[in-house]
Amino acid sequence: MRRPAAPMGENGDMSATIVRILPTAREAALDIDAIEALREAVGPHLCREIIEDGILHATDRLAALERALREDDWAAVARIARDLIAVPGQIGMTEVSRQARALLDVCVAHDPVALHAVAARLLRTGRDALMAAPFDADRLDDEGGRGV
C-alpha cells in the first residue's frame, strides 16, 4: 500500500509534521485472523453458518441498543453491551467487542456524559463490521488461500 507523502515543515523537512496513517473502515472492521482461526477450527461451512448467525445477532443487538438509548434505559444498554462483547468477538468483529466493553464500563460508572459518545462509536464500528462481514463470509467456502 502506497503511503501519501507527508507535508513538509517550514524548513522543508518532515520533522515538523507527524502523519498518522489510519486503517480503512474495512480493515478496522474485521479481524481476519480471528475469522481464519474459526474457519480452521470448525471448517468453512460451519464457520459460514456461525458468522451468519453472529451477523444477525449483532444486527439485532445494535438495533436494540439504539432503542435503549432513546428510552434512556441504562440497564438495557448494559445488558446489550454484554451481549455485544461475546458473539462479535468470536466472528472477527473484535473492535465491536472492544467498543462494547467500553460501553459497559461507562454504564457501570454511570457516566451520562460519556454514554452517548461511546455508544455512537460502538454503533458506527458495528455498522462498519456488518458491512464488511457479508463480503468476507461469501468467500469462506473457498478452499484455496485464506478464504477471507
Q: How does pLDDT run across 76-91, given as a tens digit for each residue?
A: 999 999 999 988 888 8
What CA–CA distance (Å, rounded) separates 85 from 46? 21
Closest CA to 147 of 37, 54, 50: 37
Place of cell 441498543: 65
CATH architecture of the domain formed by 25-137? Up-down Bundle (1.20)
Instruction: Give the whole-number percent of the chain exceeding pLDDT 70.
Output: 70
Inform me whether the pLDDT recorded for 139 exceeds 90.
no
* Mean of pLDDT values over 128-145: 63
pLDDT of residue 16: 44
The model's pTM is: 0.71
* 90 or 139, which is more confident: 90
Q: Where are the domains of the chain?
A: 25-137
Q: Supply the DSSP symbol for 84.
A: H
> What are 13-38's pLDDT values in tens digits?
544 444 444 444 544 567 888 888 99
Query: Following DSSP, what letter does each residue of 15-53 receive, concatenated?
Result: TT----PPPPHHHHH--HHHHHHHHHHH-HHHHHHHHHH
Calculate the average pLDDT of the chain: 80
The set of cell numbers assigned to 114 is: 460519556
For the CA atoms of 81, 74, 131, 83, the dihedral, rounded to the nearest 10 degrees, stands at: 30
List strand residue ranges (DSSP E) for 23-140, in order. Answer: none
